[in-house]
Each structure stands twice: as structure tokens, then as C-alpha cells.
């Protein structure tokens, strides 16, 4: 999992590439729209690049909550740490011995009256 510094540096790199501005002292409390002058298209573009870079997906509800730089950093940090915690519950698991699939269905032992 990338640490917060790497996430922050990646975000700054993408912001600088997208806007043509330099952000050597970007404050976490900076508002994305008012402080950085981004419009909704800029934000979507940058977030799309972040998704590709880190191989994640953000929902519409998550995007709507992004107001400041720290909002982006917190969300990305949470998203990037989630797969490591949930990886045990994702994907097929190798069989670990006889389970329900390998046990024949049991009958009650009494024949059904026809």
C-alpha cells in the first residue's frame, strides 16, 4: 500500500500536469475549486488519472465529498488500504478439505409416502 507521502506526491504531480501550475507548498486545507481554481471537469480528470494510477474506483458519492486536498488524501488512503484488509474475503478460495459441496445431501431416512 502506498503511504500518504506517495499519495500526496502523486496527487501534486497530477495536479501540476493537468493545470500547468506548480504546487511546492500545497496546503492540505486548500479548496480544490476555490483554492486551486479547478472546475468540475478538472476534478473529474484528475480523479480519473488517480484511479488509473492506483488501480482503484471511486463512487459518485465519494467524488461529491471531495472539497479539499485533505479530503482527496484521506479518501485515497482509505481506498488503498481497504483491499489489503479485505483481500481474504475476495476471490475464490482453495478448498481446505471436505465442505458442503463435497458432502452428499442427507435424507431423513424415512421414505416419503406416495
Q: What dotted CATH number matches 4-80?
A: 1.10.1200.10
Our CA angle for 89, 7, 52, nearest 5°, is 65
Q: Could you tell me the residue ranges of all domains in the chain?
A: 4-80
Residue 108: per-residue pLDDT: 56
Query: How high is the mean pLDDT in each 10-residue block of the chain (114 residues)?
Result: 89 94 94 93 92 93 94 94 51 48 54 57
Give the separation between CA 39 and CA 42, rounded to whole angstroms. 5
Residue 31, SS3 per DSSP: strand
Output the pLDDT for position 105: 54
Q: What is the pLDDT of residue 90?
A: 42
Q: What are phi and psi of 55, to 5 degrees?
A: 55, 50
Q: Is the pTM of this model over 0.85?
A: no
Amino acid at each position: 500500500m502506498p503511504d500518504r507521502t506517495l499519495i500526496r506526491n502523486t496527487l501534486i504531480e497530477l495536479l501540476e500536469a493537468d493545470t500547468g501550475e506548480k504546487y511546492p507548498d500545497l496546503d492540505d486545507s486548500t479548496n480544490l475549486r476555490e483554492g486551486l481554481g479547478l472546475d468540475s471537469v478538472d476534478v473529474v480528470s484528475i480523479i480519473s488519472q488517480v484511479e488509473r494510477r492506483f488501480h482503484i474506483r471511486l463512487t459518485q458519492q465519494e467524488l461529491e465529498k471531495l472539497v479539499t486536498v485533505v479530503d482527496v488524501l484521506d479518501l485515497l488512503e482509505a481506498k488503498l488500504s481497504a483491499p489489503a484488509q479485505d483481500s481474504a474475503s475476495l476471490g475464490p478460495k482453495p478448498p481446505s478439505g471436505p465442505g458442503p459441496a463435497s458432502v452428499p445431501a442427507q435424507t431423513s431416512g424415512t421414505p416419503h409416502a406416495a
